[in-house]
Amino acid sequence: MKIVVIGGTGLIGSKLVAKLGDHGHEALAAAPNTGVNTLTGDGVAEALAGADVVVDVSNSPSFDEQAVLDFFTTSTANLLDAAKAAGVRHYVALSVVGTERLAESPYFRGKIAQERLIRDGGVPYSIVHATQFFEFVKSIADAATVDGEVRLSHAGIRPMAADDVASAVERVALAEPINGVVEVAGPEQWSLDDLVRTGLEFRGDDRPVVADPESRYFGAILEPDTLLPGPEAELAETRFEDWLPANPLPKGR
């Protein structure tokens, strides 16, 4: 089976390409640095020629409000057009648990627009909603730091390892299209501030983490359950406290 992975050189995409290859599939890593640019359309038709499945795990290179919206709408429209022309039988996209509840955020408005295009795009599809990745805990802390304090909501979250996300996306890509959404999440529920506090303390980062109900997550105020999946979510096995010692920060960071 030929599977084209858009964003195939990134965090999730590179893991997904490796897993698909290990399982005997022809997995093509498609990204600007491999000559495939979904925003301009360059190389897209050529990459999708003969593909059975296309998986989009790409992300906007900019979080500027208009740039995010333009990226997700233009890239998705270009991919859908090429997928229809190539006879792709399954379009898979990675998105985020709680997207529909985060419309206050410019980033998530872009994701909402992306999902709408996929639903209406005329190609059989599956959308994977995943919770936040363990790998991004430090980035969340950095973005939420004000005057030396990390200010974060106490909202609930079920974070998961990027490797588990890639495995979930692979399972969906190899199955039949569901023309709907599947949710995947980590095995344990945390509060966002406790999750980040635990990650920073483990790595010797002494920034205090303060629970602040007015703090924003990608521009949105969180309710207690905004980031939590529904009861039917597929739960991964990797626990954050097991993942941490196995994933030290690279030297120099």
Q: How far apart (Å, rounded) are the C-alpha atoms in residues 55 and 28?
A: 10
Quote the pLDDT of residue 249: 65
In a domain, 56, yes or no: yes
Checking if the pLDDT of 39 tops 70, the result is: yes
3-state helix/strand/coil string of 123-154: CCEEEEEECCEHHHHHHHHHHCEECCEEEECC
- Give the three-state DSSP class for 252: coil
Strands 216-217 and 156-157: unpaired
Of 185, 191, 167, whose CA–CA distance to 230 is shortest?
A: 185
Q: How far apart (Å, rounded) are the C-alpha atoms in residues 208 and 47?
A: 47
Cβ-contact 182, 176 below 8 angstroms: no
pLDDT band at 63 (very low <50, low <70, confident <90, very high): confident
Quote the pLDDT of residue 62: 83
In a domain, 124, yes or no: yes
- Identify the domain containing residue 133 by its residue range: 2-246
Quote the pLDDT of residue 64: 87
Total domain count, the chain? 1
- Give the three-state DSSP class for 13: helix
68-111 per-position pLDDT tens digit: 999 999 999 999 999 999 999 999 999 999 999 999 999 999 99
140-190 per-position pLDDT tens digit: 999 999 999 999 999 999 999 999 999 999 999 999 999 999 999 999 999
Q: Which whole number is the average pLDDT over 23-52? A: 96
194-253 per-position pLDDT tens digit: 999 999 999 999 999 999 999 999 999 999 999 999 999 999 999 999 999 999 765 444
In a domain, 212, yes or no: yes
In a domain, 251, yes or no: no
Q: What is the CATH number of the domain that holds 80?
A: 3.40.50.720
In a domain, 252, yes or no: no
Q: What helix, strand, coil percent values describe the chain, rounded to 5?
A: 40, 20, 40
In a domain, 134, yes or no: yes
In a domain, 196, yes or no: yes
123-147 per-position pLDDT tens digit: 999 999 999 999 999 999 999 999 9
In a domain, 96, yes or no: yes
Q: Which whole number is the average pLDDT over 27-56? A: 97
Question: For the chain, how far is it from start to end, CA to CA, in angstroms?
Answer: 39
Quote the pLDDT of residue 251: 43
